[in-house]
Structure 1
């Protein structure tokens, strides 16, 4: 073999080895990566999609009177856990001091009213005595402001469905409340007429709770929650009004025992209302025992109807 031929053969062998090494170290890994990327299962596709976190809704403690000099906007607010109507504590010092300013403003301006709208989501659970969780939150906010010196008769509460109000990752809703200031027109008595009509409706169709033996909880229907909300609205706006809870029993056992049992049932219902934000001072309990049956005590069905608590107003 000539020297020139050996030189050319060496170059050829080098090219072949270089090509093999290039394919092994460069092309093969790339092809495998492409293969792994293109051939995926539905499960793999799901895991590769990045989810964009839902932005947290933050509503500030903002109240403005367009016809007065009340105007503040505190970045913090009253907060609630998801599916809860209880205000999270402690309340920030900024909100606390602003609430005192608000209470004083309303005491100095008796013609002013405050509408509170409690926001709630449709996927939340409502375990309160109110028709909606939003109304329950507005009532909690009302009670908080009353504790700061506001009069309950100057506050109206409402619920507002708002599925765009998003909690944080810990399930906290930041300020699911809106506030609107209104001014009473001098000589307007429509509010008094409304309360008079509402009182007549409540007395004609009170809330009746039936009790089983050893009952340990109360679960209200939607219509019963509506009755409770109406009673709270009434006692908030009518001077001297209160809720009356009367316990009744069937005729099984002695009258003394049944009178005590009726009072226990009335107090049980009262405690339930108090736990849901109604002041104990606004609730009066009493017992009629077996003295006012509404059905025949000779049948089990009749006895079941007589074991009841009647919640109304006076």
Structure 2
């Protein structure tokens, strides 16, 4: 009996050792060594918003900023808390400082397409920021806007991070607003349409003139843009009156997207009643299919 007992113990030990060796080897073959290469961390793009008066006591900085999609001039929302806090501080400062103005410069790159009504995308972005400042209680008369090309913009996932610059200055950039208004009345922006169409794009000269209209409106109270739609005599008079209004409304929507309040725009239609050329030729009819942008006060 003792011999059988000892044989059983020996067999148990041998069988256990065998299975332990099998399991150990399998585990060694299936488990890979841990990687010694740390995962790459992507640092966030930071372009701080800095607002400073070099001749005064105002100085603000935050890592939040105004951001824009590529080839766009609409501010991306929501804005960071640092932007809101900084603009409120700027409002309290600028509203108590006579002779102080805010220069807002918007930047753009050569790879972007300008879809705005302004001469360049940087100026369109500056006006978008200006409108945000106005909404926070800063007077438009206190804000100067500029647009510049820059090769060093911060971009991440097709989003431009902070392509704007703030400077507190003692100069207003638009002292001749009254002169500009009178010039626009004498030489309004005239846009032409194809027959039955209501879409249009501005020329460089028209964009420049539009920019001066917006700047002048910022500096003078109680003026408004008037948009007048005209047609040729193709079709019937009733339909042409509607078409003229549609064209004026289309331009109004375009101007609202580019920074003018809808409350400051009046649209009317003259239909085919005010031709400036003969309707007997295609050339004359093309001149009559127009929409006029002028100033009303």
RMSD between aligned residues: 2.1
Name the CA distance, whole Å, in 2 between partners of 1:200 and 1:216.
28
Partner of 2:115: 127
1:313 deviates by 1.4
* TM-score, with structure 2 as normaliser: 0.79
CA separation in 1, counterparts of 2:213 and 2:149?
22
Aligned residue among 156, 161, 184 for 1:202: 184
Instruction: Report what 2:154 is aligned to.
Output: 166
* Larger helix fraction of residues: 1
Matches within 5 A, 1:1-314: 58-168=46-156, 170-183=157-170, 191-192=174-175, 194-314=176-296
Shift of 1:297: 1.0
In the alignment, the residues of structure 1 paired with residue 177 and residue 44 of structure 2 have an alpha-carbon distance, to the nearest angstrom, of: 39
> Is the alpha carbon distance of 1:191 and 1:300 closer, same or farther for their aligned partners in structure 2, counting shifts above 3 Å?
closer
Q: Secondary structure at the match of 1:90?
A: coil
Distance 1:184 1:86 in 2: 27
CA contact (8 A) 2:192 2:200 kept: no
Q: Supply the distance in 1 between the matched residues of 2:154 and 2:94 (Cα, whole angstroms).
A: 31
* Partners of 2:104 and 2:126 within 8 A in 1: yes
Instruction: Decide whether the 8 Å contact of 1:62 with 1:72 is kept in 2.
Output: yes
Three-state SS of the structure 1 residue aligned to 2:110 is coil
For the 8 Å contact 1:234–1:241, the answer to whether it is kept is: no
- Calculate the TM-score normalised by the size of structure 1: 0.75
1:38 paired residue number: none
Kindly state the Cα deviation for residue 114 of structure 1 after the two structures are TM-superposed.
0.8
Runs ≥4 in structure 1, deviation > 6 angstroms?
Answer: none
The count of aligned residue pairs is: 254
- Say whether the 8 Å CA contact 1:266–1:309 is kept in structure 2: yes
- Structure 1 unaligned blocks of 5 or more: 1-54
Q: 1:157 to 1:191 in 2, by over 3 A?
A: closer
Contact 1:81 1:88 in 2 (8 A): yes
Deviations 1:49-86 (A, max 9, x none): xxxxxx98743211112333321111211011111111
Structure 2 counterpart SS, 1:295? coil
Partners of 1:110 and 1:254 in 2: CA distance: 58
Unaligned runs of 5+ residues in structure 2 are 1-42
Measured in 2, the distance between the counterparts of 1:111 and 1:288 equals: 44
- State the SS of the aligned residue for 1:167: strand
Provide the C-alpha distance between the structure 2 equivalents of 1:258 and 1:110, rounded to a whole number of angstroms. 51
- The question of whether the paired residues in 2 share the 8 Å contact of 1:59 and 1:177 is answered with no
